[in-house]
Amino acid sequence: MGTAVRLTERLRAAGCVFAEEEAALLLASTDDPEQLERRVTRRTAGEPLEHVLGRVELAGRSWSVGPGVFVPRRRSERLVAAALDLPAARADATVVDLCCGSGAVGGAVLLGLPDGGRSARLHAADVDPRAVAHARANIAPFGGTVGTGDLWDALPESLRGRVDLLLCHAPYVPTSALDTLPAEARDHEPRPALDGGPDGLDVLRRVVAGAPPWLARGGALLFEVAGVQVTAATRLVTAAGLGVGVLRDDETDGAVMVASVGAAG
Ligand SMILES: C[S@@+](CC[C@H](N)C(=O)[O-])C[C@H]1O[C@@H](n2cnc3c(N)ncnc32)[C@H](O)[C@@H]1O
């Protein structure tokens, strides 16, 4: 039996649904048999494949991620696409990725702007230094900067009133639902990356209320929620004096909310 087949069987026995694909990725990740064995052991013990490989795919690119950091989800490509669809997604846009985690979402928006983000500015921020280290590795090569701290505290004052695209995939899982998450998330992603408080909107409540002074004219805040949170999130956006757009995704039962300042606002 070949190495790939044996590895696939080990991964399948450990409950990995995409065992064949994972075996190929693990085999391609190193030429060192001992390192391969360590990686397979971590994976079969339940660690997310992305943490084991140190890489994650989002929006057609590979980004750095690792233990202790939220693994960007493919559904966030909808937030990236929604941001790039807005009139504010100009070549010279100022982009902020708040609650950036690995920074892959902000990086993908930057690189999707006209002229590949070369004339744009990206600042990302997260409260967790482990996330900030990955975000820096991911976006500094494209000229992005990263701050550490609680929400707005990590943004330079010079960005006040200038942000065209304010991306914020914040934690939004209600505390009572954390136990229902897959073990990979529950056991390997930090709780502050997932826990959104009693109704899931604790962090987003502060983000939406605090966003208007940071947004430029015609700028927008984009964030993700679950379908059941859309009504409450809409109320938050309206109370902040922002226009509301809702892009529902029936496949994931989630939504991207677009909270925008009127062009004359
Ligand atoms: C759901 S994860 C999303 C990460 C990233 N945006 C992505 O899509 O991969 C939420 C992130 O918010 C960060 N976070 C939670 N509370 C925060 C706060 N008060 N200020 C800044 N970041 C915060 C967490 O550390 C975590 O990295």
**Residue 265 in this model has a pLDDT that exceeds 50:** no
Q: What is the mean pLDDT of residues 28-44?
A: 95
Interval 78-121: pLDDT, tens: 999 999 999 999 999 999 999 999 999 999 999 999 999 999 99
- Using the atom order of ligand 1, give the atom closest to the CA of residue 171: 1
Tell me how far the alpha carbon of residue 224 is from its chain's centroid. Answer: 10
Interval 244-260: pLDDT, tens: 999 999 888 999 999 99
Gap from CA of 85 to ligand 1 centroid (Å): 23
What domains sit in the chain, N to C, each tagged with a CATH number? 3-64 (no CATH), 74-260 (3.40.50.150)
Residue 259 burial (C-beta neighbours within 10 Å; 0-12, 13-18, 19+)? buried
Q: Check residue 3 and give its pLDDT.
A: 85
Gap from CA of 43 to ligand 1 centroid (Å): 24
What residue ranges line ligand 1, CB within 6 angstroms?
Answer: 70, 72, 76, 99-102, 104-105, 126-128, 131, 150-151, 169-171, 192-193, 203
Q: Check residue 154 and give its pLDDT.
A: 97
Exposed e or buried b for every residue in 109-147, given b needs 16+ CB within 10 A?
bbbbbeeebeebbbbbbbbbebbbbbbbbbbeebebebb
Instruction: Give 170's Cβ-side CA count (13 Å radius).
Output: 25
Ligand 1 mutation target, pool 58, 110, 127, 155, most atoms within 8 A of CB: 127
Question: Mean pLDDT of all residues in the chain?
Answer: 96
Gap from CA of 47 to ligand 1 centroid (Å): 20
